[in-house]
Amino acid sequence: MSTITKLNNDIIASTIIDNWGGECINKTGGDTPVGIGVQDGNSNTFGYNDAFDVSAYMYTDDIQEGNEGGFNKVIRINIFQKKVNDSMDSYQAAMNLHHYLSRRKFDVTIGLDKSVKCEFCYFAFLVVDLRAFANC
- pLDDT tens digits for range 76-105: 999 999 887 665 567 899 999 999 999 999
Q: Tell me whether strands 70-82 and 54-65 are parallel, antiparallel or unpaired.
A: antiparallel
Mean pLDDT of 21-45: 79
Task: Give the pLDDT score at 88.
Answer: 55
Task: Give the pLDDT score at 126.
Answer: 97
Task: Give the pLDDT score at 100.
Answer: 98
Tell me: domain 3-133, CATH 3.30.70, correct? yes
pTM comes to 0.88
Q: Choose between 21 and 31: higher pLDDT.
A: 21
- Taking the C-alpha atoms of residue 112 and residue 86, their distance in angstroms, rounded to an integer, is 21
Hey, where are the domains in the chain? 3-133
Cα-Cα-Cα-Cα torsion 38, 40, 52, 116, nearest 10 degrees, comes to: 0
Mean pLDDT of the chain: 87
- Taking the C-alpha atoms of residue 62 and residue 83, their distance in angstroms, rounded to an integer, is 30
